[in-house]
Amino acid sequence: MLTCGAAGPEAFEQWRALISDTFVPLTATPTTDRPFRGELRVVTHPAVQLTEVRAQGQHVARTRQLIAGSCEDYLLASIQLGGRGRVEQDGRTAVLTPGAMTFYDSTRPYVLHFDDAFEQLVVQLPRRPLLAAAGIPDDGVHLTAVALEAGGPGSVLAGFFSSLALVHDRDPVGAAQLSAHAPGLLASALRLAAGQGAGPEDAGLERERVLAHLRRHAADPHLDADTVAAACHLSRRALFRLFEGHESWASALRRIRVERAAGLLLTQPRRPVAAIGTACGFAGEAQFHRAFRQVVGCTPAEHRGRGGGTQRR
């Protein structure tokens, strides 16, 4: 976690330097005279860089002068987690509310406006390979500062990348494997931002939408194929076909429940094991123990006793 909390004008100068080092060279001005505080949490994988930003109000700009003096070539996606923001680029303005996302391009000027305190997740990838993967011309001018609204792909990607950042803390190897899906998911979102719609090649985004539903409702012990398919506006057959060649939806649900339980076993050491299994969506203690051993490689009690140091089988 990188923080900036010095007193006086020096605080914001530290912040400006911090965000320029983390993303690309930027100018920035605060929106109030109140003491400034901001935090960055950076998670870097071979395929993608994720940065959680929590800060007070500010206006941030990537100017022509800064572009001329640097060689950064990135596409960035801002996913709003809290507060409101605006992204201006290529003559358009996208308003960001929680769950919405938009792209901006480091090779052309842009401005980010946050009038008050905000929280967002910024996903950063090399620009040219991502545009090529999406089949979009190299300039990409028709996809920047286009809001993908909450409840759609923005929310799906917010859930995926937020979960990826959390998994990184517990299982860096597993998180690195998951991060390999990031370019494909973002390429799907780019096509939507460019007005091309999702095609058959964008099944990864649809699959992630189902996984986001599973994460939200994993505590429901009655979750089954029919209820998941109906909630995601899919037929039962389409749900199963969506996961062909991948971890099945049922295995994904089991894993999500077990990962949630594994965390609770450590953070709530006095809570009964059976109660944790019930809270995480398991219908009975035997089912919980069986699933936990299959995913983690030991019993819940052993996991708790070892402080989470058990290796998966």
- The whole-angstrom separation of Cα 106 and Cα 16 is 16
CA 122 to centroid of chain Cα atoms: 8
Helices (H), ranges, 181-246 = 182-193, 203-217, 225-231, 236-242
Half-sphere exposure of 14 (CA within 13 A, CB side): 17
How would you classify the pairing of strands 2-4 and 85-89? unpaired
Q: What's the token pair of residue 51?
A: 């940065």
Q: What's the token pair of residue 68?
A: 């001329």
Question: With a cut of 70, which residues of the chain have pLDDT below it?
Answer: 1-9, 153-154, 196-202, 308-313
- The whole-angstrom separation of Cα 206 and Cα 236 is 14
Q: Which of 41, 40, 39, 30 is nearest to 8 (CA)?
A: 30
pLDDT > 90 in the chain, percent: 51
Q: Which CATH superfamily is domain 2-206 in?
A: Jelly Rolls (2.60.120.10)
Taken in order 194, 42, 258, 273, the sign of the CA dihedral is negative
- The whole-angstrom separation of Cα 65 and Cα 67 is 5
Half-sphere exposure of 271 (CA within 13 A, CB side): 16
Q: What's the token pair of residue 297?
A: 């490689």
With a threshold of 0.85, does the pTM exceed it?
no
- Give the C-alpha distances (Å, rounded to integers) separating 261 from 84, 145, 255, 256, 272: 33, 39, 10, 9, 11
The angle subtended at Cα 218 by Cα 98 and Cα 313, nearest 5°, is 115
Taken in order 112, 19, 25, 179, the sign of the CA dihedral is negative
Contact 53, 122 (CB under 8 A): yes
User: Which residues of the chain does CATH 2.60.120.10 include?
Assistant: 2-206
Looking at residue 6, what is its pLDDT? Answer: 46
User: Which residues of the chain does CATH 1.10.10.60 include?
Assistant: 218-305
- The listed CATH number (1.10.10.60, 3.40.50.720, 1.10.3720.10, 3.90.650.10) that belongs to domain 218-305: 1.10.10.60
Q: Which of 80, 136, 141 is nearest to 110 (CA)?
A: 141
Strand partners, 15: none
Contact 26, 20 (CB under 8 A): yes
Looking at residue 310, what is its pLDDT? Answer: 46
